[in-house]
């Protein structure tokens, strides 16, 4: 039962993290699109800002995932019931 609960927790965690990361990416792209099309800003400063924001969110989510998996309790093989 613990295996099923742990597997379900990992699966839900992956989907939630992926959907959240996708929402952040869409928000960044929408903000860039609005800056160029809606505010009539020059694309030259907007494009590097988009690249930096997308790179920053990738690093942020990668670090968050590493922290999440590192803090997950690890079971030793000797503790498993035989």
* Residue 79 placed within a domain: no
Q: What is the pLDDT averaged over residues 3-18? A: 78
* Residue 82 placed within a domain: no
* Residue 75 placed within a domain: no
* Residue 23 placed within a domain: yes
Its sign, for the CA torsion 3, 4, 7, 8, is negative
Range of the domain at 6: 2-69
* Residue 74 placed within a domain: no
* Residue 78 placed within a domain: no
Give the tens place of pLDDT for each residue, 11-65. 777 777 788 899 999 999 999 999 999 999 899 999 999 999 999 999 999 998 8
Structural domains in the chain (count): 1
More confident residue, 80 or 15: 15
pLDDT on residue 76: 59
* Residue 77 placed within a domain: no
* Residue 64 placed within a domain: yes
pLDDT on residue 70: 86
What does pTM read for this prediction?
0.69
Give the Cα separation of 81 and 37 in Å (integer). 62
């Amino acid at each position: 039962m613990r295996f099923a609960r742990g597997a379900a927790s990992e699966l839900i965690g992956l989907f939630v993290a992926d959907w959240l990361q996708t929402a952040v990416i869409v928000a960044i792209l929408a903000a860039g699109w609005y800056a160029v099309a809606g505010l009539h800003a020059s694309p030259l400063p907007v494009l590097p800002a988009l690249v930096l924001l997308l790179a920053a969110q990738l690093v942020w989510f990668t670090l968050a995932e590493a922290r999440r998996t590192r803090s997950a309790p690890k079971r030793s093989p000797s503790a498993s019931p035989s």
